[in-house]
Structure 1
Amino acid sequence: MTRAAGVGARIRALREARGLSLSALAGEAGIGKGTLSELETGQRNPTLETLYAVATPLGVPMAALMDDHDGAVILDEGIVTVRLRVVREEGRTTEVYLLRLAAGVERRSPAHVAGVTERLVVLTGSGEVEHDGTVQAFGAGEHVSFAADRPHAYRAGADGFEAVNVIVTPG
């Protein structure tokens, strides 16, 4: 099974388990019904943005949709995300990713499920994160923490950045 087919099968199974139609999930995720259909059948490779958009209305962390192994990679335009570790415990899921954004790239994220927090530990480069109507600049060696159950965005500076992104989802 290809990576796209595996992700699509997980999306379909979660959608059906929640009793959602293809149209209902596409509408809640803000993506086209055709796009969602192509994802579910493995005809389209998922982008990071699409995975986040679908995970939120399904009420699951992004890790539930990705290849379920450490080292899984999601590539998007100017963005590389590598799953380093996922810890599932009673009451929470902690996802740890290596996040690389090329110079000048922005990644907007819709609100995650209620109670989700993110911590970004910057390894190299610089950029800024926008959340709750504020913009926080960061550089190598710094960190930013924020509630991720509201829309937020990362923007890379002139040299891009590499960071460890820790996402904690309750429930």
Structure 2
Amino acid sequence: MQTKEIKILVTRYENLEELITTDRELVLAARQIAETAYAPYSKFKVGAALILDNGQIVKGSNQENAATPAGVCAERSALFWANANFPNSAVKAIAISAVDQSGNRALHLSPCGICRQALLESEHRFKEPIRIILDSRNNIEILNDVESLLPLSFNGNSLTNGNNKF
């Protein structure tokens, strides 16, 4: 038997002023676009802003639907729009912010499993890490790549004879 330990590094910032300019701009864009979310059922408005390797910033917000899986999360909304309109541009970073039903930024925030998988696919597609910036009420957390959110991931290597990192 063999045991392996998986460590995830998260850098935590107390406020926007501690962030580099690009990260700060992404967080502000994610906060702004969260307000456009259509979330009549959950009352949880999420915004995502990503920056591509060509410098383009793309935003998306969650869009709910009464027929539950028919909606789309903010992260995938932005990611799919970017991939459709800039198919050869890699995502460098994505900031995610949310407003709860009280109008406050979410106490804690992390992408759902489907969004993690979609972001991971983009990371593998372009063979470049995507920095994840999570904007919560009390702090901002940054992860260096999507694999940090999904360490035992299912990816294209799982479908071939490729080698997984683990």
Shared fold per TM-score greater than 0.5: no
TM-score, normalisation: structure 2: 0.26
Indicate the structure with greater helix content.
2
TM-score, normalisation: structure 1: 0.26
Indicate the structure with greater strand content.
1
